[in-house]
Structure 1
């Protein structure tokens, strides 16, 4: 059902492998009157989806072109190598890039890892997508190094993945337009950062409450507590002017 033009709404884009479910659930709990729409985008289109105002925010992988965008890194992903089950790497708990030096390692065009030099031997041509590269791994053409979430997304029974300890890592970030941090955007930022519903920056402000907070209380006469003044207690029987001293006796 389309959202009426006058009703507030929030659109969140995300790249494959990123799972925004827990934040979406929090949004529905805190903002039940504001619909949240999810849109999956390719890594290449992620930043432009926000720049073109097709989404209010996007969950993408760094590094990326951040021109005109804010970006809050949320977490860092483990990098893994995807191999056939009968490959030697499958017997290891973890590997290094040197362990892959003799293998063909596929480097898809949508790869988000920031390689100075991709590992292994290059394939004749680069696969167009990570999904296509996974198919080639299954066919025995080569291996694939990717963030762990993508290995899980494209899981196949004939393939396994193992951590690569010295490979570049991908960071998942929340990104939005630099000049447009709206109230709804602040709400979502509060959710992904784990702010509680009672946090000042994590909930909408009530103008009436804010005004009451800013209005100074009326001046009242201070109560006389008696502090700061000494109360003298003259000794009984002593003259007032003598401050409690006994008169001299006449001889």
Structure 2
């Protein structure tokens, strides 16, 4: 690993639609001594913030130039179309891109979807932001196709949304500068990947403990177990348990020749 191994804080960038609350909570539980600072960035500027050192890591939208940035893909979002509540699309559970052929479909400048061909009819002008496009949908100017998280972010009571089955998806990834894979970055990667606190990569390594010495017995030997031979001869008869046939019956004398 390169870079500083110890930092007074950890700076985490995130693009609109990403909710990092769960990961921040786990970070605060595991590393309470290292404050985590959240930095909201647009999808377009997220990579420049990481390259410029404005954040240690960040949740971004793919694709990404991996020349100098590392990335771990996390999940793909459902793509939806945002419509007024009285629009005909609101009456169905799902639509296809070709179902929007007769509607004006807004295409904001910060669109995060990689379209080969835009659905619907083009508007006279492109809205500057997704938030501006949502306002135009509410005004009845057109429809908007976006990742579901952005539809939730800009939710309005007079609008709803439905999944678009064959639209491109937006994918979220965790990214950081390749040359700045610090110990804190590794810690956050472990949290995002679901490693437990007891994982070898989810906590700092535990220093090796010195081996315990056996207590000195002062040359004393262990007493042999009961019933076991020590290998030494005692001169005692194994049957009588005494040194000789003391008081016992003698055997039959031999006949003289």
Query: TM class by shorter-chain length?
Result: 0.7 to 0.9
Pairwise mapping of residues 23-42 of structure 1 onto structure 2 (< 5 A)?
A: 23-42=23-42
Q: What's the TM-score, normalizing by structure 1?
A: 0.80
Distance 1:189 1:13 in 2: 14
- What is the CA–CA distance in structure 2 between the aligned matches of 1:63 and 1:155, rounded to whole Å? 26
Unaligned runs of 5+ in 2: 1-5, 214-257
2:44 matched to which residue of 1? 44
2: CA distance, partners of 1:135 / 1:31: 41
Whole-Å Cα distance in 1 between the matches of residues 204 and 151 of structure 2?
A: 39
Report how many aligned residue pairs link the two structures: 208
Runs of 4+ in 1 over 3 A off after TM superposition: 64-67
Secondary structure, counterpart of 1:202 in structure 2: coil
Query: Which secondary structure does the structure 2 equivalent of 1:90 belong to?
Result: helix
1:1-251 counterparts in 2 under 5 A? 8-206=8-206, 208-209=207-208, 212=209
Kindly state the Cα deviation for residue 7 of structure 1 after the two structures are TM-superposed: 5.5
Q: Which has the larger radius of gyration?
A: 2
Partner Cα distance (2:62, 2:196) in 1? 27
Larger RCO: Structure 1 or Structure 2 (Cα < 8 Å, ≥ 6 residues apart)? 2
Structure 2 CA distance for aligned equivalents of residues 105 and 192 of structure 1: 35
Check conservation: 1:63, 1:114, Cα contact below 8 A: no
Deviation string 1:34-90 (CA, Å, 9 cap, x unpaired) is 000001001110111100000001101112444310010111110000000111000
Structure 1 residues 141 and 66: CA distance shift in structure 2, 3 A: farther
Q: TM-score by structure 2 length? A: 0.78
User: Counterpart of 2:127 in 1: which secondary structure?
Assistant: coil
